[in-house]
Structures are given as C-alpha cells and as structure tokens.
Structure 1
Amino acid sequence: MKDLLSKYFIRIFGSLLIICCFGAPVFSQKLGDKVVRETIPDFLKTPAENYVKEVPIVIVSYLPLDDNQELDRDVTGAKLSLESMKTKLMRMNIQSKFMLEEGTKYKGYENPDAVPFAGYRVVDYLIVYDDFKEGMEVPWNKGWYRPDYFDVMETIDGKYYVEELGVKEVWLWGWHHGTIEPAETNMASPLTADISNSERTDDLPIYNSTYMLYNYNMNRTANQAVHNHGHQIEAAMMHANEATNGNQNLFLNAYVGWDGKGDDKRPPLGRVGDTHHPPNTTKDYDYLNPTLIESDIMDWNPDGSGEKKMVNCFTWGNLPYQWPDGLSTESKIEAHWYIFWMQNMPGYNNELTYKGEKMNNWWEYKIDWDYANGNNIGLFGSPKTSRVN
C-alpha cells in the first residue's frame, strides 16, 4: 500500500519524465485520481528494427482493488493476485507487440530480408485501480454492457494521447465477467464511420485523428488479443474493398476464400483463410487441425494461379519465429497461425497484380486509417478519385 501511495504522490505532484530512444516527452495531461503510470520496458517502447511506419500506442489496464488492496476477483473474475496479474499483463503486451510487428513482414517466414511495415511504440503504460462504469448495453446480450469508453478516455485524458502524442491504438485490458462484455475492436474517426467489428455505435469520443481501441480480456492470453486485431483487419479490408470497388469480392472471395452467398455461404477451404479459419478447415478456431489440404496461401494470386501446397497446422506451427526471450504464448500453434496469416496478406513491397494493376500494401488500412482513406488508395491500383458510397 505504501508503494501505491508513493506512486500516486509522484503522479499528482510531479511531472514524470519518460526517457526513450525518441526523446523525452513530458506528460502534462490530467489523469484520473486512481491512475498510476508504470515503467515501460525497452521492448515495448522501441519499435521493431527496420520498421517502415510507426504506430504509437498507449496501454491501459483496469485493476480494481478489494478491501485488502488485492485484485478484486468478484469484479474481474480473475484468479491471480494483483502482482501476478501485472506480471501476466506485461508478458501479454510483449507477446502481442511481437506478433503484430512480425505479422507485417510480407512473406517473412521465407524471406529473411522482409522488414516489418509496422513498428509499435508504447508511449505510456497506465494502470487504473478502478472498476469500469457500465456503458451501452450489448445489443444481442441483454443485461451485459460494454465498459463506458467515454469514461475510460476521460480518465486517461485520451484527447492528449491522440492529438498531442499521435496515438493510433489504445490497448485496454479489462475482463468479460459480471455484467461487462468488452468490444473486441472499436474505432473513433473524424473521417469515416466506426469501421470495426463492434456494433458501430457512437461510444467513443472523436478527436482530430482516427484511433482504435482494442478491449482485451486479462483472463485470457495474448493470442486472443491478436485475434481481435485479426477481426479489425477483416473489417478494414471489407470496407476498403466496398468503398473503392463497390463490392467485397477481392477480399472475401478471392483472398479469404469464402464461397457462396447468404445461407449458402461457406467458410474458406484451400485459399488464405481468415482469423477464425485456417485454409484446411471449415470449423471456427480449428487452428490445431492436422488435416492436409491444398492451398495457395503461400503463393496467393487473385486469379488463383499461384502454386498450391499441402498445408496443415504444422505448416505454420513449426515456423521458427524468434519470440522475445524465447517465450511464446500458451498455444504456440494458434499464435503462429495469426502471424503466418498476416504475413501472407499483400504487404509492403509485394509484387502482386490484379486486373492489370499493382496490388497495394493492405497494411495501410490497418495501421494508418486516415492516410489510406484520405487518399482513397484502395486495395489495388492507383488512388481512386472518388469513392463508391
């Protein structure tokens, strides 16, 4: 308790200077009374080597305390002590950052010279020793509520992070317990509507640039955190395809491999797959399936002319990704599926074509929404002079 009060004293009566390789920003924003700033490990505050575009993020963990100044298990559903949970959260943040950066290396599993398009940099790491306020009721789950994201952003002075420090992502650690059900991804944008896999309501404050809020579950693993990012990739690509081409065929059908429409719509087999489905299964979350099937995931072309190879869970599970400290997530095969899937997405320096035009770097829509949409770059070809509404 004494250490906790000391941290509060430092935050309230002094400006904490955080030193990183990019300089020493002075945090002048007004934080909530129960907010404590944590030390950021070097790995989190340093973007991946040779990155192309930086993604500034702020990490926020809500850790409500009980009368004994321990993590409140009734509120959070957690089984760990406060210190054990803080240690777990730190490890999951490191693992998530690694997976996301590694995933932006186009064909990185076979090209040692591939560079990460995204370099994540944690500009601040906050712990809020408080419960969530209930926000909007989940439309399909009566009696369950999203956290009040307006209150979250006010508590951390989100406007300061987005408008002054250029933050593009907020990683919010909470729980799925009691009456709280987190939104996996959420967007606030002055340029477009909320293009995420949430219910797309006005439940976040809008600032002068777009930011994403990823609401993670502390009681799960880094795999589920990156899983959220996979769904945001899908939402962003479907929007980009529809907005610039009038349909989602390039992404959903030619790339992912979904077949049919409506009630006859069938999950992908033999193409690239999606967050829920590797290319050798039609079952959700079937990442450990050893069934071999032909797929062009490693040589994808829109017209299906790429070389097909037999793939299964060991195709991605046995890849020698260099995890920080050698510590992968609890289910390495699942984690490797997310990285492998992302690395096969048309990325930086890809040489693919579609309808006689160059395939663009799709990562722009994931990590720089305002640039991609402001310039109407589309998934292929030259920037569009107008959008399909």
Structure 2
Amino acid sequence: MRTSLLKNYFLFFVMMTILPQANYCLPDDQTTVRVLVINFDPLIPQKGNQPLHIALNWKDPHKLSDGYIEAIKEVSDGYINYKIVEWLDTDAFPVKVDGFTYTPESFVNNWEKKDGWHQPDGVDYEKLVVDYKVVDRINKNEIDELWIFGAPYMGFWESAMAGPGAFYINGGVYDSVKVDHPFVIMGFSYERGVAEMLHDLSHRTESTMARIYGGWEIDKLTTNWAKFAANEFQSKSTAAVGTCHYPPNGEKDYDYKNPRVVESNADEYLDYPNIKGITKKVSCETWGGPDYHLNYMKWWFTRIPKAAGINEDGRLNNWWEYIFNFNSYTEDGKAK
C-alpha cells in the first residue's frame, strides 16, 4: 500500500532533527490505495431495462469515481493515489441484514411514491464481503479498500470498517469478519455528487483523528486536532479550518454558503506544524461557489497536515498517514 515506509519514517526523523521548521514531504513519499468497486446498479424492466442510475436520471458512477480520485490527488498534493483494481457492475440489489432485497419494481415504485421503504435498512456487510470475495482479495494483498456504489435506501454506511481490530470511522464496525487485517468500506451514492463523496471521507477523517488524539470535544481546544477543527460558532474561539458540517464561519450544519466573515488561522495549516496564530478574514467566498459544498470540502482537505516528521505531541505531522495507512499505527498514533 505504501512506498518505503520505514525508510521514509527514518528520513523524516533525520530531517526534523536538522530542520525542525521544515514542512515538506519527500517527492517519492506517496500512498497508493488499491480499490475494488462494486456498483449495485440493477436493470429496471419498467424503464426500458436501463441501469438504475440511468433509469432515474442519476449520475454516472464511473464519472463520480474519476472526479473523486482526481479531487483527492489534488487536495493531498499527490500523496494519495487511488488505483481501481477492478470495477464490478452487478444487476442486483444488496441483501439487507434480515435477508430482504428489493425487486426493481418495488424499489422504483417506492421511489416514485416516496414511501414503503423496508426496515431495517442496513445491508448485511458480513455477507457482502464474503459473497463478492472481498475478504479473499484483502488476504491476497490485491486490494486495500472497498467502494460500494448504490442508490438511496440501499442501506450503505458512508464509511465502515471490517476485520479484527476494526474501529469506528462514522459507520459500522464489523470486527467479526475473518480477514488478516482491518479494511475500509466506503459507501457512495450515484444519486449524489463528488461533494458528498468527499463529505463521507471528511467524516471518516474526523473519526480517525478523534481516535488518534484520544477523543474530541469541539469546544475544548486541547489537542492539535481540536485546534484544526475549530469553528467560531461551536468552539467559542478564533476559528481554524472547521469541521465537515461547520465551516470556520458556520452557524448551523451544512452552512457552506454563509457570507458571515470571521477571523481564522486556517491557512497556517498549509505550513503545519508552524502554527503561530496568524489569522485572516474568511467567509464562504474564501472557498467560493457556485458549488460551495464541493469547494469547501476541497478547501478543508487541502489543509489536512501533510508535513514530514513527528510533532511535539508525539503524533505525525502527516495526518493522511493515519487516514489511509491506519494499520501501521497504534490507536494513539505511534508507529507499530
């Protein structure tokens, strides 16, 4: 999954000893995330036997995937490179935890009348990863991550983790799955856009970093993660980069178009760990429109620290490592 981890870790230590204020990643220091995609896109007879995403005039999952991959490469400065190993299109609805599956007719009928959805809604993830041989491919070191594309009411988590030692990343924790090591399952909807895909990863990031720092209270700026995520409204302080739902100037969930101007030191995180408290005025026009949600997500991820070395708090200065190479670190951020 990664290139020369031990070598780079040693070089990071050496460079930080010689140049403690330096902020850079090695040119060859990248992570390739190998992905298996399962696209649940059943054919709909009453809509000319078209795949569901076409029948209901939703988005092309291939284009969504391409847009997401490019966005993550951009915001991580090339540090995270997704590689789709295989794309499986399946003419099926996923099986829910009680064994229920929709038919094309029942699903479309429910969608059109906005009623009749089955409960419990959740998918049987333990069955899914066995039926589609995901466990085998993880154990053979062919893939690192699973993406599931589907529609509303198919019952996917935004992000989940399976395997012994799995932990909460804003979705189900399936630690009984018999696999060599934990792996992530991302759930994406072709009814939505790239903004929502980044949104899913943002929540995964929040959960991961809260674990690394032993918890997270938005109004207690006692850790570097809490300081990064500070927003003026909830944190009762000078804002920094904000959270998935609350931008630095936000006053409610999903407040990405708020024109309110606040002081924020968000740009300092482009030079992390050199944080001096220098602020600038920010508003929704800082990340800009017309898609304020998408542009805020990109702005937010661009400021996720990705510098070399180990911080004074004992955690890496490169938080992307924790998000994607989580199997290489303990729950408090130390290298295994």
Same fold (TM over 0.5): yes
Residues 51 and 123 of structure 1: CA distance in aligned 2, closer, same or farther (over 3 Å): farther
| SS of equivalent residue, structure 1 residue 94 | helix
Q: % of aligned pairs identical?
A: 20
Counterpart of 1:117 (choices 79, 83, 95) is 79
Residues 55 and 306 of structure 1: CA distance in aligned 2, closer, same or farther (over 3 Å): same
Counterpart of 2:308 (choices 349, 359, 369) is 349
Q: Is the 8 A contact 1:238 1:248 kept in 2?
A: no
Q: Is the 8 A contact 2:163 2:174 kept in 1?
A: no
Residue 199 (structure 2) pairs with residue 221 (structure 1)? no
Q: Is the 8 A contact 2:232 2:262 kept in 1?
A: no
Residues 59 and 340 of structure 1: CA distance in aligned 2, closer, same or farther (over 3 Å): same
CA distance, structure 2, for counterparts of residue 128 and residue 248 of structure 1 = 46
CA distance, structure 2, for counterparts of residue 377 and residue 252 of structure 1 = 13
TM-score (norm 1): 0.64
Quote the residue 2:90 is aligned against.
128
Counterpart of 2:321 (choices 352, 359, 364) is 364
Counterpart of 1:289 (choices 258, 266, 269) is 258
Show structure 1 runs of 4+ deviating over 3 A. Answer: 66-69, 199-202, 265-269, 300-304, 352-355
Quote the residue 2:202 is aligned against.
230
Q: CA RMSD in A?
A: 3.4
**Offset from partner CA, 1:34-84 (integer Å, 9 cap, x none):** xxxxxxxxxxxxxxx9661111111110012234662476xxxx6x338x7
Quote the residue 1:337 is aligned against.
296
- In the TM superposition, 1:192-207 aligns within 5 A as 192-200=165-173, 202=175, 205-207=177-179
Quote the residue 1:61 is aligned against.
39
Q: Is the 8 A contact 1:51 1:119 kept in 2?
A: no
CA distance, structure 2, for counterparts of residue 224 and residue 237 of structure 1 = 20
**Offset from partner CA, 1:278-330 (integer Å, 9 cap, x none):** 11113111112222211000014689633101111222227xxxxxxxxxxxx
Counterpart of 1:316 (choices 284, 287, 294) is 287
Residues 189 and 230 of structure 1: CA distance in aligned 2, closer, same or farther (over 3 Å): same
Residues 347 and 211 of structure 1: CA distance in aligned 2, closer, same or farther (over 3 Å): same
| SS of equivalent residue, structure 1 residue 126 | strand
Q: Is the 8 A contact 2:35 2:85 kept in 1?
A: yes
Structure 2: any 5+ residue segments left out of the alignment? 1-26, 100-116
| SS of equivalent residue, structure 1 residue 289 | coil
| SS of equivalent residue, structure 2 residue 318 | coil
**Offset from partner CA, 1:328-364 (integer Å, 9 cap, x none):** xxx63322211211121211437x9546x68521111
Residues 258 and 310 of structure 1: CA distance in aligned 2, closer, same or farther (over 3 Å): closer
**Offset from partner CA, 1:137-186 (integer Å, 9 cap, x none):** 9xxx9923211212322232102321224422211011223xx4321110
Aligned residue pairs total: 286
- In the TM superposition, 1:256-275 aligns within 5 A as 256-257=229-230, 266=235, 270-275=239-244
Structure 1: any 5+ residue segments left out of the alignment? 1-48, 106-115, 319-330
Quote the residue 2:228 is aligned against.
255
CA distance, structure 1, for counterparts of residue 240 and residue 187 of structure 2 = 30
Quote the residue 2:68 is aligned against.
96
| SS of equivalent residue, structure 1 residue 360 | strand
Q: Is the 8 A contact 1:59 1:172 kept in 2?
A: yes
CA distance, structure 2, for counterparts of residue 341 and residue 94 of structure 1 = 20
TM-score (norm 2): 0.74
Residue 49 (structure 2) pairs with residue 70 (structure 1)? yes
- In the TM superposition, 1:157-172 aligns within 5 A as 157-172=133-148
CA distance, structure 2, for counterparts of residue 267 and residue 284 of structure 1 = 16
Residue 169 (structure 2) pairs with residue 181 (structure 1)? no
Residues 384 and 208 of structure 1: CA distance in aligned 2, closer, same or farther (over 3 Å): closer
Q: Is the 8 A contact 2:213 2:225 kept in 1?
A: no
**Offset from partner CA, 1:203-256 (integer Å, 9 cap, x none):** x7341122110111221112111111100001110111118xxx9941553221
| SS of equivalent residue, structure 1 residue 365 | helix
CA distance, structure 2, for counterparts of residue 173 and residue 226 of structure 1 = 14
CA distance, structure 2, for counterparts of residue 162 and residue 170 of structure 1 = 9
Q: Is the 8 A contact 2:221 2:227 kept in 1?
A: no
**Offset from partner CA, 1:88-107 (integer Å, 9 cap, x none):** 111100111112222212xx
Residues 158 and 201 of structure 1: CA distance in aligned 2, closer, same or farther (over 3 Å): closer
Quote the residue 1:23 is aligned against.
none
Q: Is the 8 A contact 2:159 2:170 kept in 1?
A: yes
